[in-house]
Amino acid sequence: MVTDEDKVFKALADASRRQLLDKLRKKNGLTLGELCADHAMSRQAVTKHLVLLEAANLVVTVKQGREKLHYLNPVPINEIYMCWIGQFEQKRLQALHNLKQSLKENDHEQ
Amino acid sequence: MSNDYIYTTYIKTTAEKVWAAITNPEFTRQYWGHDNVSDWKVGSTWQHVTSEGQARIVGQVLESVPPNRLVLSWANPANPTDESRVTFEIDTIEDMVRMNVMHGNFKAGSSMAEAVAKGWPRVLSSMKTFLETGKALDTWAGHDSDCAK
């Protein structure tokens, strides 16, 4: 079924697919051509990844004329977040995340 | 058409119940934190308002086709010119409902876009849990039930 959590985890278990989601997070509503631009992957490979991301409901498409626009849908990830992270851990996790980010940034500066 | 965000969720329920979950303040206050108040007729105003009567979001009903389609204008009452547009599409697919929420038509430099990008995924997850379990939960609270299905 479309809401299957397994599909979300499987779709996320691939760096190329996460890169495509990152692209949409930065700029939503991209066409297939725009998603393929400056990507090492072939158009066919990107299309295959998008089919999986759509099946997991992580990407939603809208037809506009002859083009199909791709939108990031973070709702399934949020459901996972609400299940296993919840409200109490959030502050501590955010603090850890911030620490990790600042350490990473320091790394880049050196 | 210009939509900057599209959110989709599949809910085991009926289109009528999703419509009620959006338009009935008795329901919205249970999973969305506050009341959605309007007569939901085209041209009427609507507001997302706290129990103390403080409006958080205000707008107009632009289209209303119960239980399948609702289009609202959307603005912070403190900054009414920063107006955007929300479309709810509610479609029955076999024994489920697919709800699309599209939020777009943001004004250039709108501060609303970032806020709604954070808000909608939580509202949709919360609505799904509310409709599927019938349990009232705070918008920002987690589940009590087992998550692995």
| Domain layout of chain A by residue ranges | 1-73, 74-110
Give the CA dihedral B67, B20, B89, A20, nearest 10 degrees. Answer: -160
Reported as a single tens digit per residue, the pLDDT across B125-142 is 889 989 998 875 554 444
Assign domain A1-73 one CATH number from 2.40.50.100, 3.40.250.10, 1.10.10.10, 3.50.50.60: 1.10.10.10
| Closest by Cβ to B8, choosing from A57, A83, A87 | A57
Beta-carbon neighbour count of residue A91 at 10 Å? 9
Gap between the Cα atoms of B43 and B73, Å rounded: 10
| Residue of B8, B98, B133, B143 for testing the chain A interface, max A β-carbons within 10 Å | B8
Of B9, B142, B149, the CB nearest to A87: B142
**What is the number of CB-based contacts under 8 A between chain A and chain B?**
63
Query: How far B41 CA sits from the closest chain A CA (Å)?
Result: 27
Query: Residue B6: which of A71, A77, A78 has the nearest Cβ?
Result: A71
- Residue A88's pLDDT is 59
Task: List chain A residues with CB under 8 Å of B123.
Answer: none
- ipTM value greater than 0.85: no
A36-50, A73-87, B13-27, B81-95: the lowest-pLDDT one? A73-87
Instruction: Give the domains, in start order, of chain B with CATH numbers.
Output: 3-133 (3.30.530.20)
**pLDDT tier, A16 (very low <50, low <70, confident <90, very high otherwise):** very high
Q: What is the DSSP letter of B33?
A: S
Dump the DSSP string for B48-111: EE-TTS-EEEEEEEEEEETTTEEEEEEB-TTSTTS-EEEEEEEEEETTEEEEEEEEE-PPTT-S
